[in-house]
Each structure stands twice: as C-alpha cells, then as structure tokens.
Amino acid sequence: MKKFLSIYLSIYLSIISTLLAQKFLYMDFKFLMQMKSAIFLLLLLLSFQVNAQDQLKNNIYSTYSHVTGDRYSGGSFIGQGYTIGYRRYLKDRIYADFSYGRLDYEGQNSVFFLSKEETGRFDMHFFTLGFGYDLVQKEKFILSTEASFLRIRNRMLESQIGEGDNITFRQTNRFTDVTARVGLKARFFLTDNLQLIPSIAYGFQIEQFETSWLNIGLGYSF
C-alpha cells in the first residue's frame, strides 16, 4: 500500500508541476512533455527511497514574493513584496499553514487600478490558511504540496462620473478577493533548523484575480 501511495503521489506531483510551470514559462509542447517525463521518472525513483524523519513540529518562515495577476474583467498587475508564515505538523507528513504578506504592485490596462499617489506602497494585503502534505522527506530535503484559502485585499476605483478634467464624482474603496491557491514548496536544510524555502503557487480566479506566485526565503524549525 505504501509503495502504491508513493507512486500515485509521484504521478500527481508530475501533473501539478507541469501545470504550474506553464504559468511561469513559455515552452513548446514537446519540451513540456519531456520535462513532465523527466519529473515523473525522478519522483518515481525518489518514491522508493522516501523515509519519514523525526520532524520538529513548528516552523516559521519569511520569503520574498513575486506575484502576477489577471483581473476577470480586464487588466493585470505585477507585484513584489514579502510573506511571513507559520506551519505546524499535525501528523508525520501533514501540516497546517498560515501566512500573511503585502505587495507593492503596479496595475495596468484597467481604469480600476489606482496610481501609487492614491494607494501608497504595499497596498495589496494577502492572507492564506491551508494544509500541506510532504510528498518527499529526506534528511536534508522536503518537498510538499499545499492547498489553501487565499484572501487578497487592495484599494481600487469603485465609481466615477466624468473623465479627465470633467470628473464630477470619484470614489475608491478597498475590495476583497476570496479564492483558493495550490502550490509546491521545497525545503533545503542548511542546518538542522534553518532551511532555504523556494515555492511556486497558482491562485484560481473565483471572484477577481487569477494569480501566479513565486517565493523564496528562509525558514526556521523548532
């Protein structure tokens, strides 16, 4: 049963990895299939060597975040900022994860995005709450898949009457986008407690934004 589960998880991770890669890279179909096959073979090999390790239950982390997003009614944004998070293991491989962060972003191709004169810097706040599962546990390396609730909040144009110098009414407001996010997160152990943590993620477009996330930072287990 454990061998079957490991193989199943390897296939699952291969598919997810390819889908996420398409969000960040422009590749031709042949190269994508080659990459998918290589990832599958590598993870299949790793699946027979996975061994559970004694985990420190708590982990705090801080990362640099690069995020791109498309708005459902037109327009897009690019943002850079930070994420601060906490995770706690509930079982040998299962953990809960909470994070909060802010982005300094630039909106484009939509009148609803505001200038920095109106919003200030780091106006976009986000919050996540979810669960993760360790697909691979090695002495110096852990690879996990995560699914989480994602909440994004930022100030945008709500309504306006008139244009240019003839604006008679203009109102802005803070809008909240609630959605789900899935991703992959790796931990490379630099010491027994300190890790380098890169991750990629994809946020579904349920209300406003479809987002792609690239993060890298440090974590500490205790």
pLDDT tens-digit series, residues 15-28: 544 444 444 444 44
Q: What is the rounded distance in angstroms from the CA atom of residue 202 to the CA atom of residue 179?
A: 11
Of the candidates 80, 20, 89, 93, which has an alpha carbon nearest to the alpha carbon of residue 52? Answer: 93
Of the candidates 46, 54, 48, which has an alpha carbon nearest to the alpha carbon of residue 92? Answer: 54
Average pLDDT over residues 5-33: 47
**Residues 110, 154 within the same domain:** yes
Q: Is 3 helix (H, G, I), strand (E, B) or coil?
A: helix
**Residues 14, 33 within the same domain:** yes
**Residues 70, 120 within the same domain:** yes
Q: Which residue has the tokens 């972003």?
A: 105
Structural domain count of the chain? 2
Cα dihedral sign for 26, 29, 32, 34?
negative
Domain boundary among 32, 50, 68: 50
Alpha-carbon separation of residue 172 from 14, 121, 126, 133 (angstroms)? 43, 16, 19, 40
Per the prediction, the chain carries an average pLDDT of: 82
**Residues 102, 166 within the same domain:** yes
**Residues 36, 61 within the same domain:** no
Domain with residue 192: its CATH number is 2.40.160.20
Residue-level pLDDT at 111: 84
**Residues 135, 59 within the same domain:** yes
**Residues 78, 186 within the same domain:** yes
Domain boundary among 31, 50, 69: 50
CA end-to-end distance (rounded Å), the chain: 32
**Residues 143, 73 within the same domain:** yes
Q: Which domain holds residue 162?
A: 53-221
**Residues 45, 138 within the same domain:** no
With a pLDDT cut of 90, the percent of the chain lying above it is 58
Residue-level pLDDT at 143: 98
Helix (H) / strand (E) containing 45: helix 29-47
| pTM of the predicted protein model | 0.72
Beta bridge partners of 11: none
